[in-house]
Amino acid sequence: MKFWNRLRLRARRRRGESELVDEIRLHREMLAEEFVREGMSREQAARAAARQFGNSGASEDESRDEWAFPRFDAIWKDVVFALRLMWRQPLVTVAAVLTVAFGVGANTAVLSVLETVLLNPLGMPHTADVTVARVHVEKIKMWHAPDSAVEFAEIHEMREAFSAVAAIEGRQWTYDTGGQATRLLGRAVTPEFFRVFGVSPVLGRFLNQEDRNSVVLSYTMWQSQFGGDRGVLDRTLVLDGTPHQVVGVAPKNFRFPPDAAAWSPLILSPERLKQRGYNMDLVVVARLRDGLTFRQAQSRIARYNAALWNGPDGKDLKDSGYGVDLDRFPEYLAGDLQAPLWLLSAAALVVLLTGCANVAGLLLTRSASRRREIAIRLAVGATRWQIVRQLMLESLLLGAFGGLAGLALAKLAVLLVARMPIPGKDVLALAALDGRMLAYGIGIALASGLIFGIVPAVQLLRDGQSAAMVRSRRRWFQDVFVSAEVCGAFVLVVMTGLLLRSLWNVEQVQLGFDAHRITTAYFTNPKNDATFHERLVSALANASGVESAALAYPVPFTTGGLTSGFVIRNREHRPDEPEWHGEAYFVTPGYLHTLRIPLLRGRNLAESDGANAPTVCLIDRKLAEKFFLNQDPIGHEIGMYKGWAQIVGVVANVRADGAEEETRPVVYYSLAQIPYFNQAAAVVRSSVPAGSLIRDIVRQTNASAPVFDVATMEERIGESMGLRRVLASLLVAFGGIALLLAAIGIYGVIAQVVAEQTREVGVRMALGARGGQIRTMFMRQGLYSGGMGLLAGIMATVLVQKWVSTLLYQVRALDGKTLAVALGAIGGVLIAAVWLPSRRAAKIDPQLALRHE
Amino acid sequence: MGTTNQEFLKGTLDMLILKTLSRGPNHGYGIALHIRRLSQEAFKVGEGSLYPALQRLLVNGWVRAEWGITETGRKARVYQITAAGRKQLAEEVRNFDFLLANIARVMEGA
C-alpha cells in the first residue's frame, strides 16, 4: 500500500513538485494577507510570513523525500555514473565486455550440451534411477556389447534390485504412406519398458503381455502422421505388410531412443531365452528399486557375474571373460561424448577464469588512475562503503553486459552444435538454450563481475594503510595472476595440440579403398522378389554417368561388418589362443572393382556364385597372414555363416569400420548366397553424386522397396570424423582465446608495474643504472612468475593426461613433441608480453620520470 | 535535538493534522491555522514542516488530496481524511493517552 502510493506519487513527480511549490506559495500568501489584516505593511507581512513558515526550500525538499526511495535513488545515481564512466573509456569497456562474453558464451553453450546429454538426458524426467546392463567379453576386447535374451531374463528375475526391467530390440519397418514405401524406425520392447522410465501415456495405454500386433506411437509421430488426432486409437498401422493396432501415444518428453517413431511388443521365443551369447542385439534397461543405491545394484550384478562363472557353463564364460556391466542411463547415452564434453567444459572454464583475471587486471589499472578521484570523494564525506559500492556496481555492470553478449554467442553456438551431423549423436540435436541455461549464463557473468570487481575494491580500501604494504601485496597478486594465466593457457594449448595431432593421424590413415565419387544408399529388400538384386545391379550399372555399381551389406563406415566367431577346417583352435573373431561383408562381384579394392590372389566372386552353387568367400590379407602364414589359403574352408565356405581369393586390407578402428579379419561372402538380411545397400561410382539416381532406379525396379540413409562415401567418412573435427576446432578456438587473453593480461600487468615504478626507475637511472639493467629487472619479475606458471602447467598436464587419453589416436598423452611446441608457444608469448613493457621501462627518461606526478 | 525527539514531534504533528481533518476537509493553510488556534499558539514550529507531514500522510494513504476552491475563491489543494486515516488517528490517540497516563503515574510517584 505504502509502496504503491509512493510509487504513484513518484511517477507523477514533475506535477507533484509544481503542485507542492504552488501550495507552499499559497500558504505564505495567505499568511502574509493575515498579517496585513492585522495591520502590518506589505514588506513587514512578507517577512513575518517567512518567519512563521520557516525555510520553504527545506520544506519542499523534505516533502520530496517522503516520496523517494532513498537507497534505490542512490544506487541509480551510481549506475548512471558508472555508465558515463564506461562510455568515456570505450576501449576498456569493449575489451572487458568481450572478454566476459567469450567466457560466458563458451560456458553456457557447453553446459547446455552437457545438460542435454549427461545431466538431464534428453530432457526426460525420472531418469535418475534408470540403469543399462551391457555385456563385455574381455578376451576379444568387446566392451559395452548388447545383451542376449538370457541376460535379460536373468536380470528380470532380480526383483530385489530392480523394480522394472525391459529389453529393447531395434526395428525398421517398411511403412506405406500414400502408395510410397517409407522406412520407419522403431523399437520392439518388453512390457515393462515404459515403467522403467516411469512415464504414462498421453493417450490410450502402453503395451502388456497379451499384445502381439500392437504399437505405441511417439508423440512426434502422432503429431506429424496423424495430426494429433485423438481418434488414432481406432487406427491400424501397416508395418511390413502386417496391420498393427495403435494402442497408445507416448508423452511428448519421452524420447528414448531419440530416433524411435513407434514401439511394438518384443516377443522372445523360449529357444532364444536359452541361448546365451547368441542374437546379442538387446539393450536391457532396468529401474533401481526404491531406496536402492546404484552401488548396491552394481554389487548385485557383480555377484551375478561371479555366479555365472561358477555355473554349468562357467568354464567357457570365465575363459572368455564374459560378464555384465551396469551403467547409469546418462553414461550409456553419452557414450564417447562424455570425455569430450568434460574436456570442453574444463576448457571453457579456463577461458572464463583467464578472462576474469584479465578484467580484474584491467580494472586494477584503471582504479590506480582513479585514486585521486576517490580520494576527493572520501574527503568530501563519501563513506568507504559508498566507494566500494560504486566500484562493485561498475564491475557488475560490465559483467551484465558481457553476460548478455555471451548469451547471444551461446545461442549461436548451440544452434551450430545442434546442426552438427555426427552419426549416432542425434542426442546433440536436442541441445537448446532454455531458461535455466540463460539464468546460469547471467549468473556466471554477475559472479565474474563480483570476482573481478572485488580485487580493485579491496585494493582501494587498503590504500589508507602504509603504501609499502600495498605495493608488496599488489606484487603478490600480480605474480599469482601471471602464473595462473600461463598455467591455464599451457594446459589448454597442450590439450589442443594433442587433439590436433590425433586428428591429423586419423586423417592420414590409409583406408585401403577409393572413396572418391562413390555414392551409397540403403534399401529394404522387397518381399517375394527373388531377382530384385540382379535386376537392380544391372539397372544401376547401365545407368548413364555410372562407372560401376555393386550391392553390399553393410556399407563401410556405417555400422561396421557383422562380427562373428569363425572356425577353419583342419585347423585346431589352441586353448591358449583368444577366440577367433572376424567381420563379414556380403557383396556382389562388382564390389571390389567399384571400391577399387585390390585382389591379391585367386579370383573374385563371380555371378556364377549364386544361391545354388557351393558357398565361396574372399578373405582379407590380415586373415590370410594370421592363419595361413606360410601357405596358400585358396581352397581352404572357413565356417562363419551358412556352413563351410571355400576361400577363392585374398584381397587387400580395408579400414571399413572407421579410420580409427583396428579392423578384425574380414570375410567377404557373395550376397546372393547368404539371403539372411532384409536390407542391403547400393554402392555406385559415378561422375556426379548419384543419390537421386539410386532412389529412382530402386523405385523403378520395385516400388515397394524404401530407400534410406543416402550419402556419398566421403560424407560418411567425414561424419565418422565429425566428433573429432568438432572437438579439435572448438579446442583450437578455446585454446587460441586463452592464449590471446593470457598475452594481453601479462602485458597489461607488467606494463602496470612499469608505470607504477616510473619514479623508482628514474631514481635508479639517475644513480647510474643502465637501460639494460632496468630491462632485466622487469623481465626477471615477469619471467619468474611466468616460469612458475609453466611449471604448474606441466604438473597439471601430467595430472589430467589420463583423462584425455581415450580421446587420442596414436599419440601419447605426454607426447614430447606436443609438450615442446606448447612450451615454445607459451614461452614465446610470455617473453614477448614481458619484453615489450620492459623495453619501455629501459627507455624511461630519468628527468621526466622524477617530475612524474 | 535527538532523533527520538524528532520522531516524537513528527508523530504528534501527524496526529494533530489527522485530528484537524477529522472535523472536515481543509487546505494546508487552514490546517495550520486550526492547529495554531487550538494550541493557543503554543505550537510554533515552522508551518513549513506541515508539508512534509502531509506528503507522509499521503504516502501512507491516510489522507487524500484534491484541488478545490477556498472560501476566498483561491485555487488550493484540499486534504481529506480517509478511513485508514481515521483508524490511524484512533490508534495514535490511544497510544498518546496511554503514554500520558504513564507519564502522569510516574510523576505522581516521584
Cell numbers that stand for A596 in this block: 577399387
Task: Using a CB–CB cutoff of 8 Å, tell me whether B34 touches chain A.
Answer: no
Last residue of a domain, one of A262, A289, A316: A289
Q: Based on the domain organization, do A535 and A672 belong to the same domain?
A: yes
What residue in B sits closest to A67 (Cα-Cα)?
B59
Beta bridge partners of A132: A285, A327
Under an 8 A CB cutoff, do B47 and A31 touch? Answer: yes
Q: Which residues of chain B are within 8 Å of residue A19 when distances are taken between CB atoms?
A: 77
Which range among A194-198, A423-427, A746-750 shows the weakest confidence by mean pLDDT?
A423-427
Cβ-contact A40, A15 below 8 angstroms: no
Question: Which amino acid belongs to residue A817?
Answer: K
Shortest Cα distance, chain B CAs vs residue A397, angstroms: 32
Q: Give the residue numbers spanning the domain of A190.
A: 130-289
Look at residue A849 and tell me if it is in a domain: no
Phi and psi dihedrals of A120, rounded to 5? Answer: -135, 75
Last residue of a domain, one of A655, A682, A704: A704
Q: Which residues of chain A are within 8 Å of residue B29 when distances are taken between CB atoms?
A: 26-27, 30-31
Under an 8 A CB cutoff, do B55 and A67 touch? Answer: yes
Q: Based on the domain organization, do A83 and A64 belong to the same domain?
A: no
Q: Based on the domain organization, do A141 and A277 belong to the same domain?
A: yes
Under an 8 A CB cutoff, do A2 and B56 touch? Answer: no
Task: Using a CB–CB cutoff of 8 Å, tell me whether B6 touches chain A.
Answer: no
**Angle between helical axes of A13-37 and B50-60 (0-180°, round to 10):** 140
Q: Total structural domains in chain A?
A: 5
> Distance between CA A477 and CA A610 in Å, rounded?
80
Could you say which DSSP state residue A89 is in?
Answer: -
Pairing of strands A581-587, A666-670: parallel
Q: Which of A7, A23, A36, A51 to mutate to test the interface with B (most CBs of B within 10 A)?
A: A23
Could you say which DSSP state residue A123 is in?
Answer: G
Under an 8 A CB cutoff, do A55 and B46 touch? Answer: yes
A376-383 contacts at long range (C-beta below 8 A, 24 or more positions apart): none
Place of cell 532513498: A70
Pairing of strands A644-651, A616-620: parallel
Cβ-contact A751, A782 below 8 angstroms: no
Please give the mean pLDDT across all residues of chain A: 84
Cβ-contact B13, B64 below 8 angstroms: no
DSSP result, A495-517: HHHHHHHHHHHHHH---SS--TT
Beta bridge partners of A601: A650
Amino acid A468: pLDDT: 43
Amino acid A246: pLDDT: 93
CA A786 to each of CA A484, A757, A833, A836: distance values in angstroms, whole numbers, following the listed order:
8, 20, 10, 15
Amino acid B41: pLDDT: 62
pLDDT tens readout for residues A771-791: 888 888 888 888 888 899 999
Pairing of strands A236-239, A322-328: unpaired
Q: Based on the domain organization, do A85 and A25 belong to the same domain?
A: no
> Distance between CA A231 and CA A217 in Å, rounded?
13
Shortest Cα distance, chain A CAs vs residue B100, angstroms: 29
Which range among A77-91, A183-197, A410-424, A489-503 shows the weakest confidence by mean pLDDT?
A410-424
Q: Which residues of chain B are within 8 Å of residue A67 when distances are taken between CB atoms?
A: 55, 59
Cell numbers that stand for A669 in this block: 561372402
Angle at B56 between CA B52 and CA B61, to 5 degrees: 145
Q: Which stretches of A114-161 are assigned E, i.e. beta strand?
A: 130-137, 142-145
> Distance between CA A693 and CA A711 in Å, rounded?
12
Q: Is the dihedral of CA A22, A24, A30, A36 positive or negative?
A: negative
pLDDT tens readout for residues A616-633: 999 999 999 888 888 899
Q: Based on the domain organization, do A231 and A174 belong to the same domain?
A: yes
Pairing of strands A180-189, A142-145: unpaired
Rg of chain A in Å (alpha carbons): 38
Which range among A133-147, A460-474, A646-660, A668-682 shows the weakest confidence by mean pLDDT?
A460-474
Under an 8 A CB cutoff, do A23 and B48 touch? Answer: no
What residue in A sits closest to B72 (Cα-Cα)?
A30
Q: Based on the domain organization, do A260 and A396 belong to the same domain?
A: no
> Distance between CA A720 and CA A717 in Å, rounded?
5
Under an 8 A CB cutoff, do A65 and B58 touch? Answer: no
Amino acid B2: pLDDT: 37
Q: Which residues contact A490 (CB under 8 A, 6 or more apart)?
A: A789, A790, A793, A794, A796, A797, A822, A823, A826
- Which is nearest to A132 in space by CA: A158, A160, A157, A168? A168
Q: Based on the domain organization, do A188 and A117 belong to the same domain?
A: no
Q: Which residues of chain B are within 8 Å of residue A1 when distances are taken between CB atoms?
A: 60-61
Q: Which of A63, A64, A67, A69 to mutate to test the interface with B (most CBs of B within 10 A)?
A: A63
Cβ-contact B9, B48 below 8 angstroms: no
Place of cell 567444459: A345
Question: Which amino acid belongs to residue A276?
Answer: R
Task: Using a CB–CB cutoff of 8 Å, tell me whether B48 touches chain A.
Answer: yes
Q: Based on the domain organization, do A47 and A81 belong to the same domain?
A: no
Phi and psi dihedrals of A301, rounded to 5? Answer: -65, -35
pLDDT tens readout for residues A21-49: 888 888 888 888 888 888 888 888 888 88
Closest partner residue to B56 (CB to CB) among A20, A58, A66 is A66
Q: What's the mean pLDDT in A232-250? A: 89
Q: Based on the domain organization, do A541 and A648 belong to the same domain?
A: yes
pLDDT tens readout for residues A167-215: 999 888 888 776 677 888 899 999 999 999 999 999 999 999 999 899 9
> Distance between CA A390 and CA A367 in Å, rounded?
12
For residue A432, how far is the Cα from the chain centroid? Answer: 11
Q: Based on the domain organization, do A217 and A205 belong to the same domain?
A: yes
What's this model's pTM, rounded to 2 decimal places?
A: 0.67
Place of cell 612499469: A754
Q: Based on the domain organization, do A89 and A151 belong to the same domain?
A: no
DSSP result, A147-199: BPHHHHHHHHT-TTTEEEEEEEEEEEEEEEETTEEEEEEEEEE-TTHHHHTT-
Shortest Cα distance, chain B CAs vs residue A59, angstroms: 5
Closest partner residue to A63 (CB to CB) among B52, B60, B74 is B52
Under an 8 A CB cutoff, do B51 and A5 touch? Answer: no
Could you say which DSSP state residue A335 is in?
Answer: G
- Which is nearest to A395 in space by CA: A460, A476, A470, A462? A460
Give domain B3-109's CATH architecture: Orthogonal Bundle (1.10)
pLDDT tens readout for residues A636-664: 999 888 789 999 999 999 987 777 766 77
Cell numbers that stand for A456 in this block: 580493485
Q: Which residues contact A612 (CB under 8 A, 6 or more apart)?
A: none
> Distance between CA A711 and CA A557 in Å, rounded?
11
Count of residues for chain B?
A: 110
Q: Which residues of chain B are within 8 Å of residue A38 when distances are taken between CB atoms?
A: none
Shortest Cα distance, chain A CAs vs residue B61, angstroms: 7
Under an 8 A CB cutoff, do B29 and A20 touch? Answer: no
Place of cell 583423462: A803
Q: Is the dihedral of CA B16, B20, B25, B30 positive or negative?
A: negative
Q: Based on the domain organization, do A375 and A443 belong to the same domain?
A: yes
Q: Which residues of chain B are within 8 Å of residue A66 when distances are taken between CB atoms?
A: 52, 55-56, 58-59
Beta bridge partners of A221: none
What residue in A sits closest to B49 (Cα-Cα)?
A59
What is the pLDDT confidence band of residue A677, given thresholds at 50, 70 and 90? confident
- Which is nearest to A187 in space by CA: A177, A176, A175, A172? A172
Whether A526 shows a pLDDT value over 60: the answer reads yes
Q: Which residues of chain B are within 8 Å of residue A30 when distances are taken between CB atoms?
A: 29, 74
What residue in A sits closest to B32 (Cα-Cα)?
A27
Count of residues for chain A?
A: 853
Q: Which of B9, B10, B44, B47 to mutate to test the interface with A (most CBs of A within 10 A)?
A: B47
Residues of A with CB under 8 A from a CB of B: 1-2, 5-6, 9, 19-20, 22-24, 26-27, 30-31, 52-56, 58-60, 62-67
What residue in A sits closest to B43 (Cα-Cα)?
A52
Which range among A284-293, A418-427, A445-454, A792-801 shows the weakest confidence by mean pLDDT?
A418-427
What does the buried/exposed string (b/e) look like for B58-76 if buried means 16 or more CB atoms within 10 Å of the residue's CB? bbbbbbebeeeeeeeeeeb
Look at residue A319 and tell me if it is in a domain: no
Could you say which DSSP state residue A815 is in?
Answer: -
Place of cell 586373415: A623
Given its phi and psi angles, is residue A157 left (phi above 0), alpha (psi -120 to 50 degrees) or beta? alpha
> Distance between CA A324 and CA A146 in Å, rounded?
10
For residue A853, how far is the Cα from the chain centroid? Answer: 52
Q: Which residues contact A813 (CB under 8 A, 6 or more apart)?
A: A498, A801, A802, A804, A805
Q: What's the mean pLDDT in B5-12? A: 61
Under an 8 A CB cutoff, do B49 and A55 touch? Answer: no
3-state secondary structure of A128: coil
Which range among A20-34, A235-249, A666-680 shows the weakest confidence by mean pLDDT?
A20-34
Residue A70: Cβ-neighbour burial (10 angstroms; 0-12, 13-18, 19+): exposed
Q: Which residues of chain A are within 8 Å of residue B50 when distances are taken between CB atoms?
A: 27, 59
Q: Which of A693-707, B63-77, B91-105 has the highest mean pLDDT?
A: A693-707
Q: Which stretches of A509-659 are assigned E, i.e. beta strand?
A: 518-524, 546-553, 562-565, 567-568, 581-587, 599-602, 616-620, 637-639, 644-651
Task: Using a CB–CB cutoff of 8 Å, tell me whether B74 touches chain A.
Answer: yes
For residue A25, how far is the Cα from the chain centroid? Answer: 70
Shortest Cα distance, chain A CAs vs residue B107, angstroms: 34
DSSP result, A671-695: GGG----SEEEEEEEESS--HHHHH
Which range among A374-388, A442-456, A536-550 shows the weakest confidence by mean pLDDT?
A374-388
Cβ-contact A505, A810 below 8 angstroms: yes
Shortest Cα distance, chain A CAs vs residue B97, angstroms: 26
